[in-house]
Structure 1
Amino acid sequence: MKKLFITTVIGPITPGIIKSLAEVTRGFKGEWVTSKVIKLDGHFSAMMKVGIPPEAEAELKAELESKFASLRFFFDDVITEVGSASRPLHLTLDCGDRAGLTRDIVNILTNLDLVIEHMEFNRVHVMPIGQTVFSSNLNIAVPQGISTESVVELLEGVSEDARVNVL
C-alpha cells in the first residue's frame, strides 16, 4: 500500500521543471495522484498529492530538496475529511472593482460554512468605461441544506452590478 502525502513547491520557472520533478518522483516508484500548478510572473507554485512506497518517502523528499536547491519544498500528511456531505459548485462572479471586494466575497462564503476549493480572480482596467472590472472563478463545496440560489443571491449582493453565473 502506498503512503500519501502533499508536496508544495515554490520557485522560479525553468524549462522542464515540472517534468523533472515528476521524473524524480517516478524514480522512487512514486506517482502524482493529483496536482495543481500555478504560474505567475516567472514563478510557479505546485501542489501534488504523492503516492509512494512508505520505505521510499524520506529518500524522495531528501532527493527533491537536494536536486532542486533553488526551490522551496513543504511536505504535509494528507488530511482525510470528516464531516457532512457536500456538493461542488462552480461559479463566476463579475462586477466593478472596489476596495474590500475579495474580503467581502470570502466572508460571505465562510459565513455559510462553504469550503473554498479554488478561487482565482483578476482585475482589469477597461479604458472605454473608465473603470476596473473584477472577475472571479470560484469552486466551492456546498453543504447539504444550502441552496445554489441562496449562494448566488448573497454573492450578487456584494455590488449593485455583480453578476454570478453557475457553470
Structure 2
Amino acid sequence: MKKQFIMTLMGPETPGLMRILAEKTHARQGIWLKSKISHLEGQCAGIIKIETDEQQVEALQQELKAVAGLQVVYPVAEDSAPSQSKELQLTIESRDRPGLIKDISNIFDGYDVSVTNLECHRFAVAEIGQSVFKGDFDLMTPADIDLDSLVAELEELDLRVIKNTVDG
C-alpha cells in the first residue's frame, strides 16, 4: 500500500542537494508528487509531498533527515473536509512602509483568505527618493468572496492592486 507524507527542509544551498534528495527518494521506491523549493541568500527552503510504499516511509524519512547540514521536519498531516474555495493571484505595489505586510494580512484575515504563496521585493527608486514594495500573492479564497470589496479595502491602504487570475 502507498503512503504519502510532507517533508519540509531548510539549510545551506549546496550543489547537488536536490539530486541527493531525489536519489534517496528513488532508492526507496518513492516519488515526489509536488514540490516547492526556494533559494535565497545562500539558503534553501522547501516543501515536498512524497509517496512511497508504506513499509519504506520510516526508512526514507530517516535517510532524508540524515542529509548533512539540512534541517528536515515531517509535519503531521490532518485530514480536512474539502471546502468551497477558489484561487486568486494578486500583485500589490506600494511605497514601502513599516507594517505593510501586517496591514495586508489583516485585510486577508477579515475575508478568510489564505496566502498559499508570497513573493515580495523591496527596492529603492531614486526618482521618488523612497523604497517601493511589490508583492505577488497566491491566495485561496472562499468561493463566495466579494472580490470587489477585498480589492477596495486593500486600495484604501494606498496600494495598487492588480488581479492576475481568478480560478472558477
- Shorter-chain TM-score range: over 0.9
Worse-superposed segment, 78-87 or 4-13: 78-87
Structure 2, unpaired ranges of 5+: none
TM-score (norm 1): 0.93
Structure 1: how far apart are the matches of 2:78 and 2:102? 26
TM-score, length basis structure 2: 0.92
Pairwise CA RMSD: 1.2
Structure 1 stretches lacking a partner, 5+ long: none
SS at match of 1:77: coil
Instruction: Give me the identity figure in percent.
Output: 35
1:112-155 residue CA offsets vs partner (Å, 9 max, x unmatched): 11111112211111112201101000011110221222221121
Q: What residue is the counterpart of 1:164 in the other structure?
A: 161
User: In the TM superposition, what is the alpha-carbon distance from 1:38 to its structure 2 partner?
Assistant: 1.0
1:8-67 superposed Cα distances (whole Å, 9 cap, x missing partner)? 11001111111211111111011111000111100100100111111000100111122x
SS at match of 2:73: strand
Q: CA deviation at 1:69?
A: 2.2
Q: CA deviation at 1:83?
A: 4.8
Cα distance, 1:104 vs structure 2: 0.3
Give the distance between the partners of 1:119 and 1:44, measured in 2 at CA.
16
Q: Distance in 2 between matches of 1:111 and 1:42?
A: 36
Matched, 1:78 2:61: no
Misfit runs of 4+, over 6 Å: none
Q: Could you say what secondary structure the match of 2:61 adopts?
A: helix
